[in-house]
Amino acid sequence: MGPPDPEQRFEKIYDAHYPDLLAYVRRRTGSPDDAADAIAETFTTAWRRVEDIPEGHDARLWLYGVARRVLANKRREETRRTALAVRLRAELTVWAENLAEEDPDGVRRAFMRLSPDDRELLALVSWEGLTSEEIAKVLGCSRGAVRLRLHRARKRLARELDSRGFDMARYGSRAIALAKGEL
């Protein structure tokens, strides 16, 4: 008689040791979701390495070792994720403070009052430095449509700035004409 079928062997190991492994994992996690993730990952590893699992009682010990490493990896991931979140929160706080200082005339507020489509179009041009042809590819439309939409978005921004008392003259006659709807 040949070696047992790996699938049958895995099922036998799973059935025999699942309750003990679940209890082990549940006592070491903070939520049912975390426990479910850890037990799933433990048995996924067992499935991939079914040939490495020892026979008999040692199979349970081998699974405990896998579960222990899975839980340690999850703790390290959570620690890294928390550290990253703290760092990002600090960076975003500084960024938000700088925005308030950099926007004394309310340009950003005027920009944010535009529609999401207008903001995206103006951002692709101004912040990303894309050409009309490149924007057409990003948006999935023709260059002519981009040029028309961009012209209209610029007019709306100019009108928004002008209505808020922004000095359009510092940007030249074209900006004034846009604000007045002459272009």
Domain contains 1: no
Average pLDDT taken over every residue of the chain = 87
Domain contains 71: yes
**109-158 pLDDT tens trace:** 888 889 999 999 998 988 888 999 999 999 999 999 999 999 999 889 88
Residue 105 pLDDT = 61
Residue 164 three-state SS = coil
Whether residues 55 and 121 fall in one domain: no
Whether residues 88 and 115 fall in one domain: no
Residue 102 pLDDT = 62
Asked if pLDDT for residue 6 goes beyond 80, the answer is yes
Render 18-82 in DSSP notation, one character per residue. Answer: HHHHHHHHHTT-SSHHHHHHHHHHHHHHHHHTGGGSPSTHHHHHHHHHHHHHHHHHHHHHHHHHH
Asked if pLDDT for residue 171 goes beyond 70, the answer is no
Whether residues 72 and 135 fall in one domain: no
Domain range for 121 is 104-180
102 or 8, greater pLDDT:
8
Please count the structural domains in the chain: 2
Q: What is the pTM of this model?
A: 0.52
